[in-house]
């Protein structure tokens, strides 16, 4: 099986966060009633406005699928623990896609897929950040991301920390794409290993 070059996967990670954010903002604007800090993100998926709900759910599905492809690239080209992080990342983004399929109307199923997405993404972050100790810029991003996650989950209501963590995750995915684009030799090999 011929695997696309490493840069191909990096482009996905550099674009996907902006696509997800644009669809999220579009959904909120079309809905007109969703408010940051007062409503959960998932409420956009069941908006009374059909177009608003579609935009959010489609954003989850398309971003999840893009993330699965990107995660496959991390797994294929990653070195040591990066491969495990890539596998976990791929698995977590599968659940982001499922958030768009199983919206709040699906009750416990929705909560399971949304929680699994967040939990596994967080675990993948740990493995994907283990090689950052030699890069001060990456380490600053890692520490900032972890600090934001801790501060917001401990000190703010769910409707504030949920979207804040998603924004942080999108920034982190973008930076992961930068690492891949720069072909960091401590993280990624020159050829895919499948």
Q: What is the pLDDT of residue 2?
A: 87
User: So where are the chain's domains?
Assistant: 6-181
Chain segment 46-86, per-residue pLDDT in tens: 988 999 999 999 999 999 999 999 999 999 999 888 999 99
> Rounded mean pLDDT of the chain?
88
Give the separation between CA 114 and CA 97, rounded to whole angstroms.
10
Radius of gyration of the chain (CA): 17
The pLDDT-based confidence of 192 (bands split at 50, 70, 90) is confident
Q: What is the pLDDT of residue 166?
A: 85
* Confidence check: pLDDT of 186 > 80: no
Chain segment 100-149, per-residue pLDDT in tens: 999 999 999 999 999 899 889 989 988 888 877 777 888 887 888 788 77
Q: What is the pLDDT of residue 57?
A: 95
Distances (CA, A) of 67 to 31, 50, 106, 146, 193: 26, 25, 23, 21, 19
Distances (CA, A) of 126 to 5, 36, 43, 141: 25, 28, 29, 13
Give the three-class secondary structure for 32: coil
Query: Residue 137 burial (CB < 10 Å; 0-12/13-18/19+)?
Result: exposed
Q: What is the pLDDT of residue 108?
A: 93
């Amino acid at each position: 099986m011929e695997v696309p070059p490493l840069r191909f996967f990096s482009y996905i990670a550099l674009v996907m966060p902006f696509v997800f954010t644009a669809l999220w903002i579009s959904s909120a604007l079309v809905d007109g009633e969703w408010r940051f800090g007062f409503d959960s993100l998932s409420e956009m998926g069941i908006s009374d406005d059909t177009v608003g709900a579609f935009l959010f759910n489609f954003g989850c599905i398309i971003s999840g699928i893009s993330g699965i492809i990107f995660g496959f690239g991390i797994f294929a080209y990653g070195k040591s623990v990066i491969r495990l992080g890539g596998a976990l990342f791929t698995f977590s983004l599968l659940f982001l896609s499922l958030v768009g399929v199983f919206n709040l109307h699906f009750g416990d199923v929705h909560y399971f897929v949304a929680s699994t997405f967040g939990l596994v993404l967080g675990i993948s972050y740990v493995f994907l950040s283990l090689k950052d100790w030699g890069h001060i810029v990456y380490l600053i991003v890692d520490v900032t991301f972890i600090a934001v996650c801790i501060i917001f989950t401990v000190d703010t209501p769910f409707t504030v920390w949920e979207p804040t963590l998603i924004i942080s995750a999108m920034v982190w995915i973008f930076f992961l794409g930068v690492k891949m684009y720069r072909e960091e030799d401590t993280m990624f090999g020159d050829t895919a290993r499948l």
